[in-house]
């Protein structure tokens, strides 16, 4: 036994002397436990939210039951019935004395951040002293970056956080608009996305820190109360959006129009909300919705990453560490796969150890980002050639994939905002929840496998001379005009670091 140990040590020493790296692969659960940025809560209550309607109901429930505080940050908040009813909810809670902090991104939420139009809606909330609102990294605050690093201008707050009473947290891929919450049976072009609901004061404190480090950033723009009053009375509009949504999802139906004793503009707004909601027939069962339905407690923690304007990046290095610790399987479901050097190297190391790797992403017919898809169709053959243990699946439904999920050895599940591209790794702020549980990770993996049933597998053949023949690829099932456009966009390969 001692002799065998000496031989192993001698072999390691010889390999090290020869310059060959020797990596000791820890179990993924040990990697999770060894993360030093914060302490996981072993008793966090966790609810998986892969379905659009229930994910909206979860948000509505925790916001409607808020007693002390609400922190909200989103990349996109649209001025449709979902965005306006959420703002109406915040307006209601502000009247009740709940402390509210709201941040939206200057690039993703253009409508609400424009002066004289969208800002009127946000300024209505600022009539309450217990409300603070900021716009993340507006362009006019970063113009000097043109002479330094243009990425500081393009950097976005890509976090998606709803934090209530420092106890309830929802994060994941969904923004606030109809595209993320309507049942695909009612609107077939909605997104397929994933969120997670967590009840835990420890995890909530981690999310609050992630929120505050971006909220308090010096380059943000603080929205102030309008000194001259809003051109239009927005309070009624916000309350109307809240009430209309609440009536509809609880099965009480829509308002009958025209409503007496209100303005013509208000009636027109209500008619628009009625028209929109009337097509969403699968979301009227909120009265029977339960926030938790027997979900168990699992060790959970938040990992955060600042935008390029800040120093923190606890996500990339820990995802790489988890990849390096995998012994059996890595599952990645992500809408935008433009592998960076670091991500590709980690996947290659896992591949070379014999780890099975599944990548589920958009196809040209489901993607909402042609430029990202162009980079991907230029890369996928090379990925399969270099890593024969990788399988790639392209989504083929009209619903667009937007889910950002990782599963490591079916022991650790990661759900958040982090895309597999340069923008998430190097430019935008991101946040993820990591959950250690074989049963939870398996549940997440099985949902991805169900999605893969509605996907094409891309395959190649490597010829003897090293050349690649496409057996089945994006061009095999996509519209020729779309493929021609993507092939043209590949000429912009130099833009990869900004995509």
Q: What is the DSSP annotation of 66-106?
A: -SSEEEEEES-B-SSHHHHHHHHHHHHHHHTT-EEEEEEET
pTM of this structure: 0.91
User: In Å, what is the CA distance from 217 to each residue of 103, 132, 150, 335?
Assistant: 11, 14, 18, 28
The two most distant CA atoms of the chain are separated, in Å, by 93
Taking phi over 0 as left and psi of -120 to 50 as alpha, with beta for the rest, 456 belongs to beta
- Return phi, psi of residue 378, to 5°: -85, -15
- Return phi, psi of residue 83, to 5°: -65, -45
Residue from 227, 11, 216, 210 nearest 127 by CA? 227
CA–CA separation, 257 and 157 (whole Å): 39
CA–CA separation, 49 and 172 (whole Å): 9
Q: Are 336 and 191 in contact (CB under 8 A)?
A: no
Q: Does a cis peptide bond (omega within 30 degrees of 0) precede residue 221?
A: no
Q: Are 195 and 414 in contact (CB under 8 A)?
A: no
pLDDT tens across the length of the chain (499 residues): 444 444 434 443 443 333 333 344 579 999 999 999 999 999 999 999 999 999 999 999 999 999 999 999 999 999 999 999 999 999 999 999 999 999 999 889 988 887 655 688 899 999 999 999 999 988 766 655 556 677 777 789 999 999 999 999 999 999 999 999 999 999 999 999 999 999 999 999 999 999 999 999 877 888 887 655 554 578 888 999 999 999 999 999 998 888 888 788 888 989 999 999 999 999 999 999 999 999 999 999 999 999 998 999 999 999 999 999 999 999 999 999 999 999 999 999 999 999 999 999 999 999 999 999 999 999 999 999 999 999 999 999 889 999 999 999 999 999 999 999 999 999 999 999 999 999 999 999 999 999 999 999 999 999 999 999 999 999 999 999 999 999 999 988 888 888 7
């Amino acid at each position: 036994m001692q002799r065998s140990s000496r031989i192993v040590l001698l072999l390691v020493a010889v390999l090290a002397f020869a310059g060959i790296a020797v990596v000791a692969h820890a179990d993924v659960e040990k990697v999770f436990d060894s993360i030093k940025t914060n302490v996981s809560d072993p008793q966090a209550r966790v609810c998986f939210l892969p379905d659009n309607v229930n994910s909206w109901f979860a948000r509505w429930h925790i916001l409607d039951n808020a007693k002390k505080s609400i922190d909200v940050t989103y990349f996109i908040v649209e001025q449709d019935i979902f965005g306006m009813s959420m703002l109406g909810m915040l307006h209601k809670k502000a009247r009740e004395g709940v402390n509210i902090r709201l941040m939206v991104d200057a690039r993703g939420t253009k409508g609400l951040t424009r002066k004289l139009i969208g800002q009127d809606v946000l300024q209505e909330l600022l009539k309450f002293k217990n409300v603070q609102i900021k716009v993340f990294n507006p362009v006019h605050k970063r113009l000097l970056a043109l002479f330094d690093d243009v990425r500081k201008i393009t950097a976005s707050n890509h976090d998606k956080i709803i934090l209530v009473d420092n106890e309830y947290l929802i994060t994941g891929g969904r923004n606030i608009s109809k595209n993320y919450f309507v049942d695909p049976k009612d609107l077939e072009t909605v997104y397929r996305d994933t969120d997670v609901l967590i009840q835990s004061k420890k995890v909530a404190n981690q999310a609050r820190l992630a929120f505050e480090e971006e909220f308090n950033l010096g380059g943000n723009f603080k929205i102030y109360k309008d000194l001259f009053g809003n051109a239009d009375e927005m309070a009624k509009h916000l309350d109307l959006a809240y009430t209309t949504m609440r009536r509809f999802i609880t099965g009480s139906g829509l308002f009958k129009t025209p409503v007496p004793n209100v303005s013509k503009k208000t009636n027109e707004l209500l008619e628009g909300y009625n028209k929109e909601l009337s097509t969403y027939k699968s979301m009227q069962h909120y009265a029977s919705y339960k926030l938790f339905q027997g979900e168990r407690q699992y060790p959970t923690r938040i990992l955060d990453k600042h935008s390029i304007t800040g120093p923190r990046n606890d996500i990339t290095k820990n995802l790489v560490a988890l990849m390096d610790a995998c012994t059996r399987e890595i599952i990645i479901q992500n809408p935008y796969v433009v592998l960076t050097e670091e991500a590709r190297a980690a996947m290659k190391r896992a591949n070379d150890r014999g780890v099975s790797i599944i990548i589920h992403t958009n196809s040209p017919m489901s993607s909402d980002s042609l430029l990202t898809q162009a980079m991907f169709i230029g890369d996928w053959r090379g990925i399969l050639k270099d890593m024969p243990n990788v399988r790639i699946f392209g989504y083929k439904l009209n619903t667009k994939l937007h889910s950002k999920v990782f599963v490591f050895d079916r022991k650790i599940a990661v759900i958040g905002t982090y895309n597999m591209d340069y923008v998430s790794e190097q430019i935008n702020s991101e946040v993820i929840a990591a959950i250690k549980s074989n049963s939870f990770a398996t549940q997440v993996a099985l949902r991805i496998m169900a999605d893969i049933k509605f996907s094409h597998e891309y395959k190649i053949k490597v010829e003897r001379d090293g050349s690649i023949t496409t057996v089945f690829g994006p061009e095999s099932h996509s519209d020729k005009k779309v493929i021609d456009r993507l092939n043209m966009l590949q000429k912009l390969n130099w833009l990869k670091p900004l995509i």
